[in-house]
Amino acid sequence: MSNLTRRSPRIEAQSWLEPLPAKTRLSFRGGPDAIAAASHGFGVNLSTDACRAASANDRAALWLGPDEYLLLAPESDAAAVRTTLAEALGEIPHSIVDISHRHAAFVVKGPQAEWLLGGGCPLDLDLAAFPVGMCTRTVYMKSEIYLWRTAADAFHIETWRSFTPYVVDHLIDAARECGG
């Protein structure tokens, strides 16, 4: 089995597109007690406000639903994150699923970022309606994406890995229109 290598979708960097390295991703679900304990164990205060992300020390917690979060950490932290979360959560009912390999991530950045995403995402991405720190699950064309605004002109995007070429190709198509 040693000759099997993990295939990841290839994303070509562009001036406005930055592929992100592999990450540890956990789907976390639980009630208010579990959310408080997970904040302690993960080292990031999980937002209880709708559609808000919180980050600290290379880790981030994205609010996806009232009891659902996506936890992001560097790939090398996988074991540490699971251990500290398990210690903090103890017997509190919750669910943690490792979905590290389900997604590929990249950043769309630059002054055209909003416009490029607007080509396929029906959300209002104006800074007033979608401020920095807002995150949500939504759609890009027909694919589900996770969208997180990390700066006024930068969006962190997670897609299911098999949908990544679809999303990236549509973005490249949109970029052609504005000379990217």
Partner 1 sequence: MLVIHCPYCGPRPEPEFAHGGQAHIARPHDPANTTDEELLQFLYLRENPRGLFRERWRHARGCGRFFNAIRDTNTDFFVTTYKVGERPALPGGAQ
Residues that bind partner 1 (CB under 8 A): 50-51, 64-66, 68, 122-123, 136-139, 144
Residue closer to partner 1, measured from CB, 54 or 64 = 64
Residue 179: partners with Cβ closer than 8 Å, 6 or more residues away: none
Give the sign of the dihedral formed by CA 78, CA 80, CA 81, CA 86: positive
Nearest approach, Cβ of 14 to partner 1 (angstroms)?
A: 26
Nearest approach, Cβ of 44 to partner 1 (angstroms)?
A: 19
Residue closer to partner 1, measured from CB, 31 or 122 = 122
**Within 10 Å of residue 30's Cβ, how many Cβ atoms?**
20
Q: Which residues of 108-147 are buried (b: 16+ CB within 10 A; e: fewer)?
A: bbbebbbebbeebbeeebeeeebeebbbbbeebbeeebbb
The 94-98 sheet, strands edge to edge: 53-56, 59-65, 68-74, 23-30, 94-98
Nearest approach, Cβ of 41 to partner 1 (angstroms)?
A: 23
Residue closer to partner 1, measured from CB, 107 or 125 = 125
Residue closer to partner 1, measured from CB, 39 or 136 = 136
Helices (H) then strands (E): counts for the chain: 4, 10
Residue closer to partner 1, measured from CB, 67 or 77 = 67
Nearest approach, Cβ of 87 to partner 1 (angstroms)?
A: 28
Nearest approach, Cβ of 144 to partner 1 (angstroms)?
A: 6
